[in-house]
Structure 1
Amino acid sequence: MSERRTRRGTGSDLSRTTAARAAAIAEQLHHECSILLELYRKTENFPADVADGRLVSVPPPSSQLDTRDKLWRLHSALLQCRSLLERAIAKEEEELGGGRKGEYENQRKMVKERLSLLLINTGELLKAADGPAILTPSLEGLELDGPTILFELKLWVYRIFKEVDYWTKMTITTLKGLPSVIVKEPARTTRARRSTRR
C-alpha cells in the first residue's frame, strides 16, 4: 500500500506566502502612491520636495530588532498612516468639497484600500512571527486634525501621501530583508524518509 502524503500548509509555508503577498501588495501600493503624489502635485502645483519631515512616530530602526519587532514597527507605522490618510480624506471632503469622482479621487480610494489590505497581511505576518496580540499604536501626537488654513491643509494632505509612500517603501525593504521570511518553524524532521525508487 503506497503512502500518500498530503501537503498541509505549515505555519512557515503560510507566512512565506503571506510575506510574498504582502511584498507584492506593498509594491503595487508604492506604484499607486507614486501616481497619487504626481496627480496631487500637478493639481496643487507643488514642487517634488515641498514637504519634508515624518508624521508617523515609531521607534528608530535598529539592527538589534528581531523579526517580530521589525514587523511590529512596520505594522504600527502603517496603522498610523491609515489613520492619517482617513483623516486627510475626510478633511479634504469637508474643507474642499467632496462629490467629485475624478482620477484623483479614484486613485486616493485605491491607495486607501490597498493600504488596508497591506495592513491585514502585515498583521498576519506579525501573528506568524509569534507576535503578541497586535497592539494598536497610540495616535497621540499624530496631527489628525490637520490645519485650518487652506494652503497648510493642502500641504498637510500632501505630507500624508508622502508618508504613506515612505512607509510603503520601508515595507518592501523590510519584507525583502526578513530571514527567508519568518521562519519560526522548527527544523523540519521527516520521519523515515523513503526513497522514491520504484
Structure 2
Amino acid sequence: MEKQKLNRHDWIYGLTKDANQVVSENIEELLMTVRLLESENLAKVVENIFHAASVVIISRGLSVRIADSFARDLQFLDVKAVSLYQDNMQAYLEKLPRNTFVIGLSLSGETDLIVATAQKAKRDGKKVLAITGNYKSRLVEQSDLLLLAYQKNLSGKILVDYNNMLPLELIIHLLIQLYKQYKEYCAIV
C-alpha cells in the first residue's frame, strides 16, 4: 500500500478533508491561545498561587469540570485549593483569609454568579484572576489579572459552549506545569 502524502491541512492520515478541518481548527485555537499569553502575566499568576493561603476556583456550567481538575492538580502540588460552583460561593469566600487567590473560570466572562463573586472577593481585598475568552467581559472588569483564551466564532451546526473549552484546558495545563517549575526554581521568567 502506498502512503499518501499529507498536505498542510491533513493532520491525520485517513480522515476526510472535513474531519481534518476540525483537527486543524482545534490546533489553530491552541496556537492562538498561546500567542495571547504574556510571560509577565503568567509569572504573576504563578507567584500569586504560590504565596496564597488558599486558591479558590469559581466556575459554572461546562467550566466546572476544568475547575475541578485544576483544583485537584493544585492539591497534588500541596496547594490548598478548592473548586466552587454552588450558589453559596460568596458565603464560602467570606470565611477565607484576605490572601486567598480567587480564579474566575468562565469562557464568556458574563456568568452573573461568577462576576458577582469576583466583585465581592475584590471588595474584600482578595486578588482575582479572570481566565476567559472575552477580554471585554464583566469578569475582566472585576479582576486584577487576566489570562485570555482564544475564542473562535461559532459557525458550525452545534453552537454549544464546549466547542471552545480546549483553550481553557490548555491554560490550566500550562499553569500547572509552570507552577511545578516555579516551585523548583523560584522563577519562570
Q: TM-score of the superposition, structure 2-length normalised? A: 0.31
Higher strand share: 2
Higher relative contact order, chain-length normalized (CA < 8 Å, sep 6+): 1
Higher helix share: 1
Q: TM-score of the superposition, structure 1-length normalised? A: 0.30
For the pair shown, the structure with the greater C-alpha radius of gyration is 1
